[in-house]
Structure 1
Amino acid sequence: MSVPADSKTGLAAVAEAATQAPGRGLPPVHLWNPPHCGDIDICIRRDGVWLHENSPIGRPELVRLFSTVLRKDPDGYCLVTPVEKLSIRVEDLPFRAVAVTAEQGALRFVTDVGDEVEAGPDHPIRVHTDPVTGEPSPALHVRADLWARIARPVFYELVEMAGVEDDRLVVRSAGATFALGPAGAGVA
């Protein structure tokens, strides 16, 4: 595949590709199949901070822009443009669910990059429990194969909203039921 001479590469190409999503829309990264061009020194830390060359990316707008061209492929996380694919590191999950509201039978989450997600059959909540520590590790499906770690305060809110069924704490959203963990065990 030839790349036009005036095509941008690296961070400039990622930023340009991301601007193809007006408003909160997302570029069609699932349709892009560019060649893999290597790694770019971007890491999304476990706490949700995006680093470039070990320095935090301080502009939330830029992080949001990059998040719109993030994709998880079988070989890992990458930023994708129509002309190149650059691998990045993700320590845990790429996003954090930082707020939740319950309205009209649905749980609506907001992520640290501004995505709004309604939990339900297409966007499940999953909770893995560490077999040694018993600590829950809750997550929310955001889009494609991208998930958000549910922040501890948000998980506490979910536990407060939960009911008990078959000795398990459960929440409901948009017609789906999600188990948070065993009832009576508390959360770490």
Structure 2
Amino acid sequence: MPYEPPPEIAELSLVALAELVAARKLPPVDQWTPQAVSDSRMVIKGDGRWFHDGGEIRRPAMIRAFAGLLRRDTDGQHWLVTPAEKQAIAVEDAAFIATDVSRIGDALVFRLNSDDTVIADAGHPLVARGDGDTPALYLAVRHGTEARLNRSTWLQLVDLAETDLSVNSRGARFSLVPA
């Protein structure tokens, strides 16, 4: 069956977006505690490309499936988790790249390179890192993973920002300037 990407986020209402997010049935990787541990021989590059044994994974459906199994522990290690095993995965920067943002009602809605949709809020905060010359913005996704905003998404967000370079989403306020 061919993979059908979700619709453009700017074309949807907040209710439709919430239904889209709820419709994605993700496995409960945060509840699994497998005893078997190994290395997946996978790398997620800083630009969001996925590799296995040095070869790039190019199928969007496969990346989306793997993305649903990701979790990051408190030490910063990323894992692909199943009920039977967890496999370490090397991540150069962030597990995801935010490729688009739209303001819909009182929410900032992000599209990720995995075709996931994340609404920024207190549970999915935006965090500014780096410094004033080279800021980097990250969005909390799920299970400890993050998405780094690509340049065009960062510029979209700056256009939506208030004069103090902050944005509001779902009642939460986020600075776009590193502390």
Q: Which range is displaced more, 35-44 or 59-68?
A: 35-44
Alignment of 1:162-181 (within 5 A): 162-164=161-163, 168-181=164-177
Counterpart position of 2:90: 89
CA distance in 1, matches of 2:110, 2:80: 24
CA distance in 2, matches of 1:169, 1:151: 17
CA distance in 2, matches of 1:49, 1:157: 22
1:114 lines up with 2:115 in the alignment: yes
CA displacement at 1:128 relative to structure 2: 1.0
1:24 lines up with 2:24 in the alignment: yes
> What is the identity, as a one-letter code, of the residue corresponding to 2:175?
A
Indicate conservation of the 8 Å contact 2:71/2:142, yes or no: no
Distance 1:74 1:178, change over 3 A: closer
Counterpart position of 2:7: none
> What is the identity, as a one-letter code, of the residue corresponding to 1:128?
R
1:141 lines up with 2:137 in the alignment: no
Please give the per-residue CA displacement for 1:31-51, whole angstroms capped at 9, x wherever unaligned.
111114221210000000000
Aligned length: 155
The alignment's TM-score, normalised by the length of structure 2, stands at 0.82
Counterpart position of 1:158: 157
Ranges in structure 2 where 5+ consecutive residues have no aligned partner: 1-22
CA distance in 2, matches of 1:47, 1:36: 30
Indicate conservation of the 8 Å contact 2:36/2:84, yes or no: no
Alignment of 1:58-77 (within 5 A): 58-75=58-75, 76-77=77-78
CA distance in 1, matches of 2:74, 2:122: 23
1:33 lines up with 2:10 in the alignment: no
> What is the identity, as a one-letter code, of the residue corresponding to 1:122?
G
CA distance in 1, matches of 2:28, 2:113: 21
CA distance in 1, matches of 2:40, 2:127: 30
Please give the per-residue CA displacement for 1:62-93, whole angstroms capped at 9, x wherever unaligned.
01000111111245111111111111100000
1:42 lines up with 2:38 in the alignment: no
Distance 1:177 1:74, change over 3 A: closer
> What is the identity, as a one-letter code, of the residue corresponding to 1:49?
R
RMSD: 1.4
CA displacement at 1:121 relative to structure 2: 1.0
What is the DSSP-based 3-state SS (H/G/I as helix, E as strand, rest coil) of the residue aligned with 1:154?
A: helix
Larger radius of gyration: 1
Runs of 4+ in 1 over 3 A off after TM superposition: none
What is the DSSP-based 3-state SS (H/G/I as helix, E as strand, rest coil) of the residue aligned with 2:175?
A: strand
Counterpart position of 2:15: none
> What is the identity, as a one-letter code, of the residue corresponding to 2:51?
L
Q: Which has the higher contact order (CA 8 A, sep 6+)?
A: 2
